[in-house]
Amino acid sequence: MCVALLTYADLSTRLDISREAARSLARRRGWPRSRSDDGKALVSVDLSELRYTPRPRRRRQAGQVDAPIARIEPVEIDASMAEIEAIKIEAFKAEIARLEAVAAGYRAVFEREHERADRLAAELLQAAAETKAANAWAARLEDEVAALRTGRQAGGSIAGQAAHRLGRLAASIVQADRAASR
């Protein structure tokens, strides 16, 4: 197990990758990092574990906008500039039509998501109202339980008041249960 302290530049030359790729690799693998005296970042790398094969670089492909122009057949040299310009104009018109179709597709997705967001907002408002009503109901039940525990009410015996309160509490619980099951 041979551990070496390498800068990102040293690591990139050893692996034949860019400095940014070396930095990213060090982060992904979780290699310990520190600072040198001159302020450069040092990475502790176990050289026995250092097996890295960089991905092959992708060739830059022609962009989508350039694609119709690339498909134009070669024009004879004696063709006039007007013909060449007409061909380019037709290619641009075709590209504009394609982009308009793509934009229409994105617009349809936008409209669908907008409607979905509106439905979710309405459901959220309904849930908030139901939560508020349930909290009010729970507070009322807590008040009744507290009143039963204290047994203080003007007039009547404490036992009779407790029985009356207990009956009302049971009726409230049944009513809340029925409302919740709907």
Task: Supply the pLDDT for residue 96.
Answer: 95
Task: Supply the pLDDT for residue 78.
Answer: 53
Q: What is the DSSP string of the chain?
A: --EEEEEHHHHHHHHTS-HHHHHHHHHHHT--EEE-TTS-EEEEEETTT----PPPPPPPPPPTTTHHHHTSPPPPTTS-HHHHHHHHHHHHHHHHHHHHHHHHHHHHHHHHHHHHHHHHHHHHHHHHHHHHHHHHHHHHHHHHHHHHHH---SSS-HHHHHHHHHHHHHHHHHHHHHHHH-
pTM of the model: 0.35
Task: Supply the pLDDT for residue 133.
Answer: 92
Q: What is the pLDDT of residues 91-108, one digit of tens each?
A: 999 999 999 999 999 999
Q: What is the pLDDT of residues 15-46, one digit of tens each?
A: 888 899 889 988 988 888 888 888 888 988 88
pLDDT of the chain, 182 residues: tens digit per residue:
678 888 988 888 888 888 998 899 889 888 888 888 888 889 888 877 777 666 666 665 555 544 455 555 554 555 688 888 889 999 999 999 999 999 999 999 999 999 999 999 999 999 999 999 999 999 988 888 887 777 655 555 666 667 777 888 888 888 888 887 76
